[in-house]
Structure 1
Amino acid sequence: MPISAAYRPDPVFMRLGAEFADPVTPADFPQTLLRFRNDRAAATVGLETLSDAEWLEHFARFRPLPDNQPEPLAMRYHGHQFRSYNPDLGDGRGFLFAQLREAGSGRLLDLATKGSGRTPWSRAGDGRLTLKGGVREILAATMLEALGVPTSRAFSLAETGEELQRGDEPSPTRSAVLTRLSHSHIRFGSFQRQAFLQRPDLITVLVDHAVETYFPHVAEAPDRPAALLEQVVAASARLLARWMAAGFVHGVLNTDNMVVTGESFDYGPWRFLPRNDPNFTAAYFDHSGLYSFGRQPETVFWNLQQLAACLALVTDQAGLIAALNRFSDLYRDALRAAMLARLGLKSRSPEADVALVQAAFTALAVGGTAEGEGLRWEPLFFDWFGGLASEHRALAGPRAGLYGLEPFLDFRRQLAGFEPDRPERLDDPVFTRPEPEEMLIDEVEALWAPIAEDDDWSPLYAKLARLEAVRVAYALGD
């Protein structure tokens, strides 16, 4: 197989042993029809030269990659789901397939699946993924990456030729298997499982693995568990800030859906805000609004506390408490930086930055116009990217009337003195468009409809191409 010289296998997780994962056999699907392959992501791990046939052998039939894991591993973990502890979790319809080093950075990356068949942790599930679910994951990950959010990347989607019964979409529905490329799948719930089983020795094994694999710069710290928590707190605060600046609602912020490297993944009932609404929820079953947009900071901190409780079994609490106590300041600083990045501006001073961010949130909260329609979330960042350097463009656009209202006048006053960061970005053709690319639920359904009705994938592929143009134009990735 023509794998490039950039391919660097490094399957380190399997060395942890049988207490952390179970070898499993992938499902034998009736068909494997390639619907999506992410060649840009594949190039970062030396797999872009695979033919489509070879691609399907590895990412739909799951033939092992050379010198990588000899068999898939369903990872073991527990977790709090909507604050209720569940000891019956684990990879129920997915597995860790391979681990590789990223070209250039040398970061360890995972190739993992969703919809690849039953495992010991499937419980009553069939281990499958609906095709619509796979499409939704591609859209979420692509949009988030374009907006600078640390996220897994949809790597591959193959339709698998089965008819699935589901209660939350018309059935029977088409099936698929997804592969994602992500920095880590070591969940908070990975530690919770060992704490529940009263295995502090295995918590120590996980701590050592996480530090040496993902945070080697703190490997010599005298208190490794506290040092690990410090890194996880910082990464989680940064992820949260990027979510909030993107107007993203994850929907199921359970402890098994947060990883130590602070990366967003596993997109189920996600949503992007239509407008600024702290009570906006993504999951139809989130009746109490536990995981609403405005409660995401509280939830992330609560989840970090659960991780700290596990680490308290292997170290003194003082260092863990100190790490948790940094969360608020770290999140506040990260949110300020994330909002400035989304507006394409350089920092002026902490005070000026905070005043601008507050003015932006106030403007986003404007409830209506003469037509009864308030400002949508995404257009503010699109119209005013680069600050006052975009004033003429913003005031010539479809929202010019809104920008004459008092909250927007204050926002515009606060922009005075801010310089655009990398102003050459404003020359990108993306900024000649009257409207930004958004990802509201009506558009998601509109993209799915031609696939469901006519097997027409062209609107989806066109949307993905536009989002790639946005990613290049904004250049928000680190």
Structure 2
Amino acid sequence: MPVSAAYRPEPRFFDLGEAYGDAVHAAAFPQTRLRFRNDRAAATVGLETLDDAEWIAHFGRFEPLPGQPGPVAMRYHGHQFRTYNSDLGDGRGFLAAQVLEAPVGARAASDRLVSGGAPQGRLLDLGTKGSGQTPWSRGGDGRLTLKGGVREVLAAEMLEALGVPTSRAFSLIETGEALERGDEPSPTRSAVLVRLSHSHIRFGTFQRAAYFGRADMVETLVEHARALYHPRVAAGDVAGFLREVVAASARLTARWVAAGFVHGVLNTDNLNVTGESFDYGPWRFLPWYEPGFTAAYFDQTGLYAFARQPEAVFWALTQLGGALKLVAEVEPLTEALNGFGPAYIRELRAAFLDRLGVSSLGEAADQRLLDTTLALLREGGEALRWEPLFHDWFGGFASSARALGGPRGKLYQGETFDAFRFALFEHEPDRPDRLEHPVFAAPEPEEMLIDEVEAIWAAIDARDDWGPFEDKVRRIRTAGEARR
């Protein structure tokens, strides 16, 4: 069957009209070789029943799914490294479809909306990367390298396993073109990626409307995004909408930091209204604690370095707030923005507790654990990698013998460690039965450091060997299941 009964099309962005996006067509690729299909994600939207030929038809040739009007390249502007760019938009991708997250069984169309227009079940986007040229390609070829697609799958899978709000890599299809790129050996192989994401409405989507002085468009966007993504906010409450975006962005940023993740390009067109990480370019995971660690070779000033990500996200939120001034008073918008700092600290404490597998003991004790964990990582330097610390001490005191008897046991001593251990042992293990999973019997955790990423790509590039890639995805998912 082409789709399951759980598939529920809900193409709501398309209702906004041509002022917000352009109808486009996908490129005609010389070949379509399926390299990755995320059946786990597909099952959440009723598309896991597609066979490979149907999958390629919809996600390689982009024949519209049932009930979908066809692709649209979204319009937006954005600050790129804090320089405003009014010549942006979907230049090598488009919104292919919108669907509702699927409960068991299908619902009648009349049951799909709750009061206020919000769908029952999250509204999800199927968006592309590398699907061909659009009116916003700016002379680019509209393509994606296969290496870039592989890297995006790995980033999304790892972040999902670590509990970071993220888009999910849905499909990766090799497309048989030889691409020329200035930042990697060329010619290189091409691909088209599809991601499943909660929203592709960016801060820059609002900035574009404000740039043209179109208060009516800003108001329409606010109401559209409020009703679909933040329905708890009352209609017309622009500051309330901004508060929700601030809170979601604070949670995302805290989860990045706890995961040791560096996004690399936190421009305002790469941040969205649902606080979900997406569009992975020059990302990196920290090998060890290094505040100035950057992911992009072109980030010469460290603007988006690891420890500056909260600053970067807050700055981007202020630009969103500036766009919303066309339809709201400044004071309540400022108040909403000022909530970012306290929300970020709360979320950071929660994220570190989650990473260490322990329960909250209250603000003071939770902050003590956050502070001592960071102090231990700072003191450990290159000898104490980021991810292994959380692996060794997951579950708190229940992991003492495992951590002290493991490969990093000799690092766990001294005053800084004693302070960490005291703070950790104050907290009760959260679901200690998780430690029975075989993942925690292994001496080393699953990491995603750049050398391994390059080795995975080298196997594909040199021998068309997808085994290391497929094994890595399986191991990441197993690790994520153990933590859950």
TM-score by structure 2 length? 0.96
Distance 2:187 2:414 in 1: 50
Distance 1:238 1:152 in 2: 15
1:80 is matched with: 79
Distance 1:98 1:286 in 2: 34
1:31 is matched with: 31
The worse-fitting range, judged by mean Cα deviation, of 170-179 and 105-114 is: 105-114
Please say if 1:98 is aligned against 2:97: yes
Please say if 1:336 is aligned against 2:335: no
Q: How big is the alpha-carbon RMSD for the aligned residues of Structure 1 and Structure 2? A: 0.9
Q: Of 135, 141, 147, which aligns to 1:126? A: 141
Distance 2:282 2:237 in 1: 35
1:57-68 pair list within 5 angstroms: 57-68=57-68
**Letter of the 2:58 counterpart:** H
2:14 is matched with: 14
Distance 1:387 1:101 in 2: 39
Please say if 1:378 is aligned against 2:387: yes
Distance 1:77 1:408 in 2: 48
Paired residue secondary structure (2:456) = helix
1:289 is matched with: 302
Please say if 1:176 is aligned against 2:191: yes
**Letter of the 2:20 counterpart:** F
Number of aligned residues: 468
**Letter of the 1:109 counterpart:** L
Distance 1:38 1:337 in 2: 29
Deviation, structure 1 residue 413? 1.6
Deviation, structure 1 residue 349? 1.4
Per-residue displacement from partner, 1:109-138 (whole Å, max 9, x unpaired)? 000000000000000210000000000000
Per-residue displacement from partner, 1:293-320 (whole Å, max 9, x unpaired)? 0111111100000000000111111110
1:232-311 pair list within 5 angstroms: 232-311=245-324
Residues 380 and 411 in structure 2, CA contact (< 8 A), matched pair in contact too? no
**Letter of the 1:317 counterpart:** V
**Letter of the 2:92 counterpart:** R
Per-residue displacement from partner, 1:46-92 (whole Å, max 9, x unpaired)? 00000000000000000000012x22000000000000000000000
The worse-fitting range, judged by mean Cα deviation, of 418-427 and 36-45 is: 418-427
Please say if 1:188 is aligned against 2:203: yes
**Letter of the 1:141 counterpart:** A
Distance 2:425 2:91 in 1: 53
Paired residue secondary structure (1:464) = helix
Paired residue secondary structure (2:45) = coil
Q: Of 312, 328, 335, which aligns to 1:315? A: 328
Paired residue secondary structure (1:256) = coil
Q: Moved runs in structure 1, 4+ residues, more than 4 A?
A: none
Q: Of 465, 474, 478, which aligns to 1:469? A: 478
Distance 1:417 1:29 in 2: 58
Deviation, structure 1 residue 217? 1.3
Please say if 1:43 is aligned against 2:52: no
Distance 1:180 1:422 in 2: 32
Distance 1:46 1:405 in 2: 54
Distance 1:393 1:5 in 2: 47
Distance 1:116 1:141 in 2: 19
Distance 2:56 2:412 in 1: 50
Please say if 1:449 is aligned against 2:458: yes
**Letter of the 1:75 counterpart:** M
Residues 261 and 306 in structure 2, CA contact (< 8 A), matched pair in contact too? yes
**Letter of the 2:29 counterpart:** F
**Matched-pair identity in %:** 66
Paired residue secondary structure (1:308) = helix
Deviation, structure 1 residue 367? 4.4
Distance 2:198 2:272 in 1: 9
Distance 1:416 1:11 in 2: 50
1:147 is matched with: 162
Paired residue secondary structure (1:181) = strand
Deviation, structure 1 residue 416? 2.1
Paired residue secondary structure (2:222) = helix
Deviation, structure 1 residue 406? 2.8
Deviation, structure 1 residue 224? 1.8
The worse-fitting range, judged by mean Cα deviation, of 402-411 and 161-170 is: 402-411
Residues 91 and 121 in structure 1, CA contact (< 8 A), matched pair in contact too? yes
Please say if 1:327 is aligned against 2:330: no
Please say if 1:413 is aligned against 2:422: yes
Distance 2:424 2:293 in 1: 28
Distance 2:279 2:375 in 1: 31
1:340-351 pair list within 5 angstroms: 340-351=353-364
**Letter of the 1:86 counterpart:** N
Paired residue secondary structure (1:63) = coil
Distance 1:96 1:408 in 2: 49
The worse-fitting range, judged by mean Cα deviation, of 408-417 and 248-257 is: 408-417
Residues 29 and 176 in structure 2, CA contact (< 8 A), matched pair in contact too? yes
Question: What are the ranges of 5 or more consecutive residues in structure 2 without an aligned counterpart?
Answer: 104-119
Deviation, structure 1 residue 174? 0.2
2:115 is matched with: none
Residues 57 and 63 in structure 1, CA contact (< 8 A), matched pair in contact too? yes
Per-residue displacement from partner, 1:225-246 (whole Å, max 9, x unpaired)? 1111010000000000000000
Residues 4 and 47 in structure 1, CA contact (< 8 A), matched pair in contact too? yes
Deviation, structure 1 residue 409? 2.0
Residues 207 and 224 in structure 1, CA contact (< 8 A), matched pair in contact too? no
Distance 2:425 2:281 in 1: 40
